[in-house]
Structure 1
Amino acid sequence: MFDGVLQRFAERAPASVMVRGLLERLLNAERLERWFESTREEQYTRQILFSSLVGLMLQIVCRVQANVHAAYRQSSIAASVVAVYGKLQGVELSTSQGLVRLIATDAAALIDELGGARPERLPGYRIRYLDGNCIAASERRLKPLRDSAAAPLPGKSLVVFDDARGLLSDVFPCADGHAQERSLLGEVAETIQANDLWIADRNFCVTAFLAAIARRQAAFVIRHHSGLSVKPLSALQARGRRGNGELLEQAVQVSDADGHIWTWRRVVLRLKQPTRDGHRELNLLTNLPAEQAEAATVAELYRGRWTIETAFQKLQGHLNAELNTLGYPQAALFGFCLALVAFNLYAVVMAALRAAHPEAKVDKTVSEHYLAGEIARTTEGLNIAVEQAQWRVFAQADQVSFCAMLLVLAQNVDLKKLRKSTRGPKKPPTARTKHTGKPHVSTAKLLAKAAGG
């Protein structure tokens, strides 16, 4: 399928070739520069191209390089590292957000063409999970931060997860690390489309947001916050049992700021065992019709929220999503958004594996941790050994041909090498009662004593 060295990599490191091919197709320098020039507001290009900045940061995000300085030393950027930091500091939030949207749209089209999307959990609706992410405290490198005992927060964001495709499809970044997540819901509401199903925790249970969803002919399943007043129209009615608890349901009325009265449903799950937060009841508000989603279905849909939380865990575990050396909010949020971009490239790879190995139950058996590790290990050798001209085949191919190449590469992946390691149930911790008065012990002596020596 390919020539020379690239063909050998395609046979022996196909996942790495897939990612490199996706980078060449979706994030090649020419395309990025055209997009940047058409979307930028105040930022401009002088010595450092936007595409060079993206390439440098992706090296860090994907753990190929450890930090900005290390990536800079390996780059061909002619400007100083100080200029690189200055450029990162000036990346507009709209640019970071727009890049995530651009690549998510492209990735969604590829996943659909590959046939790698999962069925929607509720037929007729596109499920969107919404959650917030606060970037971890940065180092105190900036002068205004050096004498602060409090941890400096460089920003936060709301992130949208496309459940069927496994994509982080949108982001709403905010430079103020102290901002309330609810303050960003107006921006989220503008993106809602008919037949979306928005699922979120109680922090997003705001009348204006719920009403905006309903007005756009969309639906929601959101945990009820006690701050939102509802008027019960009936007593709670039993709706059977589900796993750990009893299901009940009632109709409620909610009045919005315009005086419009909405009639929605409240589903209550009374738990035998409390949640980690000690709660024994989960109250869910939804405008889904009962004939489309009974109480048990609503509870199951809400339980699916773990998928976006798992996505955040993957960002931390597989990618370098939060760079604590970047104190300026625009720089830190740009790094986080590029982690979302990288996550979506991995989502395309996983979709190709699902399509190429339909019998393997890829989502349950393949470890994305091992996949990310393999790609990080082989990427540098791939970039050195394969001439840049050979990668152009990925950018020049039409959509159908490109997806065909991805499928062939996916078929070459040895899934056994990427199999998840399963573990048994956790054992109770052993009580540590011996040697309590000693500062340390000799491991060799204890082993010898246990062996009878």
Structure 2
Amino acid sequence: MVLDAVVERFIEHSPISVMARLGLQRALDPAWIDGLFEQERETQYTRELLFSTTVEIMSLVTVGLRPSIHAAAKASQSLPVSITALYDKINRTEPRLIRALVQGCANRLEPVVQSVLCKQPLSVPGYRLRIVDGSHLPASEKRLKPLREFRGAALPGQSLVVYDPDMAMIVDLMPCEDAHTQERAIMETLLESAEPAQLWIADRNFSTRAILTGWQRRGSAFIVREHGRNPGPSELESRREIGRIETGLVYEQAVCIARESDTPLELRRIELHLDEATEDGETVIRLLSNVPATHLDAQAIARLYRKRWSIGVSR
């Protein structure tokens, strides 16, 4: 009874704090995390150190409550092994386990987030947005000291991150231990999770015939910035002026991409002629999309790509 009264008091005076704690408890439930570990592990095993304890310590660093893993481990009251053993456990964590943890947390949190955002409309009615981009650790104190100034050597891995802007949540992550692997190669695995009624937004690194036709085959929609060389679409009509948005003038034309064993894939090319050049000096941005014009007009597509920029993953 006393505990209920205390909780009620916190709910009354600081409801956001209580909601955040309950959300984290649901997403990072130790029993669920350890069960996930047993389900997804391949070479790792549990002896004294539970995977949930490792995740708890890493979480303290992630949210900024501790400056490093070493500091979090020293402050922990429940670490049953040495700090060296903890680092060994972290270093041997399998990439597929990391992905399963991110996906599982997103699935467990989605009902909670949806209940909070139930009155907010989707950015694009009828579609679930998926913004995908690569992430590398830059030269920093997280790299070995002798290599911090060398951009091309001993990079500390990379990942492809899938973000849902309507839920403000990362819903998938594809980690890769080789930082020199092309993002396009890692994307092949992510394509397997694409679903109908999803709208994927991506930069020109993902503008390849294989990726675009992969989304089409999975029934997903996409808006992708066109690469200068790939996929080399053929024009089906002359460019038409559509109108202006906040940053420039919008044009549209029909194009197609040849496919080896199927009919050509017809797409819309949206051109945004910028009023001001980008940091790289570019004045024209070309986007390829399979979204029907009845769902999104050219100006709306250009604005949606700008939304990708707003979450800090642009190139």
Q: Normalising by the residue count of structure 1, what TM-score does the alignment of the two structures yield?
A: 0.64
User: Post-superposition shift, 1:7?
Assistant: 4.3
The Cα offsets for residues 44-85 of structure 1, whole Å up to 9 and x where unpaired, read as: 111211111111111111111121221111212121111011
Unaligned runs of 5+ in 1: 313-453
User: Relative contact order (C-alpha < 8 Å, sep 6+): which is higher?
Assistant: 1
Q: Do the aligned residues in 2 keep the contact of 1:131 with 1:308 (CA within 8 Å)?
A: no
Using a 3 Å threshold, how does the CA distance of structure 1 residues 42 and 209 change in structure 2: closer, same or farther?
same
User: Unaligned regions of 5+ residues in structure 2, if any?
Assistant: none
- Computed over aligned residues only, the root mean square deviation of the Cα atoms, in angstroms, reads 2.3
The aligned runs of 1:2-13 (5 Å cut-off) are: 2-3=3-4, 5-13=6-14
Change (3 A) 1:8 1:177: same
Aligned to 1:197: 199
On the 8 A contact 2:23/2:112 being kept in 1, the answer is no
Distance in 2 separating the partners of 1:61 and 1:121:
28
The two structures have a TM-score, normalised by structure 2, of 0.90
User: Residue 49 of structure 2 aligns to a residue in which SS?
Assistant: coil
1:88 match: 90
d(CA) in 2 for partners of 1:147 and 1:199? 34
User: Which protein is richer in helix relative to its size?
Assistant: 1
Q: Bigger radius of gyration, 1 or 2?
A: 1
- Shift of residue 30, structure 1, vs aligned partner: 1.9
Q: What residue is the counterpart of 1:125 in the other structure?
A: 127
Matching residue of 2:300: 297
Offset of residue 35 of structure 1: 2.0
1:256 aligns with 2:259: yes
Cα separation, partners in 2 of 1:271 and 1:161, compared to 1, 3 Å: same
The answer to whether the Cα contact below 8 Å between 2:201 and 2:222 also exists between their aligned partners in 1 is yes
The 5 Å alignment of 1:127-206 reads 127-137=129-139, 139=141, 146=146, 150-151=150-151, 152-206=154-208
Query: For the residues of structure 1 that align with 2:96 and 2:269, how far apart are their CA atoms?
Result: 37
How far 1:4 moved relative to its partner? 5.1
Residue 38, structure 1, aligned to residue 66, structure 2: no
- Tell whether the 8 Å contact from 1:193 to 1:216 is kept in structure 2 after alignment: yes
Q: 1:223 to 1:32 in 2, by over 3 A?
A: same
Separation in 2, partners of 1:305, 1:148:
30
Q: Provide the rounded CA distance (Å) in 2 between the counterparts of 1:273 and 1:115.
A: 35
Higher percent of residues as strand: 2
Q: Contact 2:143–2:156 (CA<8 Å) still a contact in 1?
A: no
CA separation of 1:246 and 1:41: change in aligned 2, threshold 3 A: same
Secondary structure in 1 matching 2:22? helix
Shift of the alpha carbon at 1:21?
2.1
Aligned-residue identity in percent: 37
* Map of 1:269 onto structure 2: 272
Larger deviation, residues 44-53 vs 60-69: 60-69
Report matched runs for 1:303-452 at 5 Å. Answer: 303-309=306-312
1:24 Cα offset (Å) = 2.6
Q: Is the 8 A contact 1:116 1:165 kept in 2?
A: no
Over 3 Å counting, the alpha-carbon distance change for 1:305 and 1:14 in structure 2 is same
Distance in 2, matches of 1:287 and 1:147, equals 44
CA contact (8 A) 2:198 2:220 kept: yes
Any conservation in 1 of the 2:30–2:52 contact (CA below 8 Å)? yes
